[in-house]
Copies of this chain bind each other. A is one copy, B any other.
Amino acid sequence: MRDFSRGIQHLSINTATVRKQLPLSAIIEACARRGVPAIDPWRDQVQAAGLAATARQLEDAGIGLSGYCRGGFFTAADAAGLRAALEDNRVAIDEAKALGAPCLVLVAGALPGALVGKPAFKDIGLARSQVFDGIAATLEYARQANMPLAIEPLHPMQGAERSCVNTLEHALDICDALDPDETGMLGVALDVYHVWWDPKLEAQIARAGAKRLLAYHVCDWLVPTCDLLNDRGMMGDGIVELKKIRALVEAAGYTGFAEVEIFSEAWWARPPDEVLDTCIARYKVVV
């Protein structure tokens, strides 16, 4: 297992972590000042900052990407919505390409409309079928663009609103069905927050292997957790066995970044320098 205590060459910062304090350009500057080698920016942040300007700033700063957040949301109430989702994912792939991302992270989508409290239907089987078809279609474009897709299984508590792919096993089943030859173009983004509870985690990480493990995200699960979306913990403040899970991931062949992704009203309320310095300190000791 890699020794993270000596440096941060395998650290990436997901830019959602300080999104409420800073615009993307300032986040990149703050990361550059600290020698953080990679980030994972969100599409809305990139759009606000400008795609070309962001790509230039990253290049000038010598900062790479560990992924690009995010494509997906393939489900819809009608055919026009399904088509629009595919088109949007093609644009996301183009953006990821322009930024030099190693993969586009996919949050599958769930019951259309549920995110705003108005689900168009309750049929999670239909949603899963739409997701499968959406990934299949997007994979064709991704292969042409040579941009790997990383399906991120989300915690089951987000299964109605954000993703109906809620276990690593389910994500890998999709990968095996659509990319049986393990070309490297379809895999998973594994976030400890979403999967720490899974009794099959160890077996499914081993099943995934290096070919499918395209990204690895860390934060922590707090007890109590007071919000289903924005109460993630800083690494070390919760109950996730971070070193044990990283050992499994690395034993499976993963050699990429450990990306810190914290959605937290509490951390968004703190000075961004303090947040980033804490991410680095915890990365070295508890990740």
- Residue numbers of A with Cβ under 8 A of B are 111, 114-115, 117, 119, 122-124, 128, 155-157, 159-161, 164-167, 170, 196-199, 221, 223-226, 228, 239-241
Contact = CB atoms under 8 A, between A and B. Distances in A.
A159 B166 CA distance: 15
Contact of A199 (B166, B221, B226, B239): B166
A277 to B, nearest CB: 24
B123 A223 contact: no
Copies in the complex: 2
B241 A160 contact: no
Main secondary structure of the interface of A (DSSP, over half): loop
Identify the 4 closest CB pairs spanning chains A and B, nearest first.
A159-B197, A157-B157, A156-B197, A114-B223
A272 B11 CA distance: 54
A240 B167 CA distance: 19
Nearest to A199: B170
Contact of A223 (B119, B164, B223, B241): B119
Given A124-B197, A160-B239, A166-B197, 16 more contacts: A111-B239, A115-B223, A119-B223, A122-B240, A123-B241, A128-B199, A156-B156, A156-B157, A156-B198, A157-B225, A159-B197, A160-B197, A160-B223, A166-B198, A166-B199, A225-B228
Contacts of A239: 111, 114, 119, 122, 124, 160
Contacts of A167: 199
Contacts of A226: 228
A238 B157 CA distance: 14
A164 B228 CA distance: 18
Contacts of A119: 223, 239
7 contacts: A111-B239, A114-B239, A124-B196, A124-B241, A156-B156, A159-B197, A164-B197
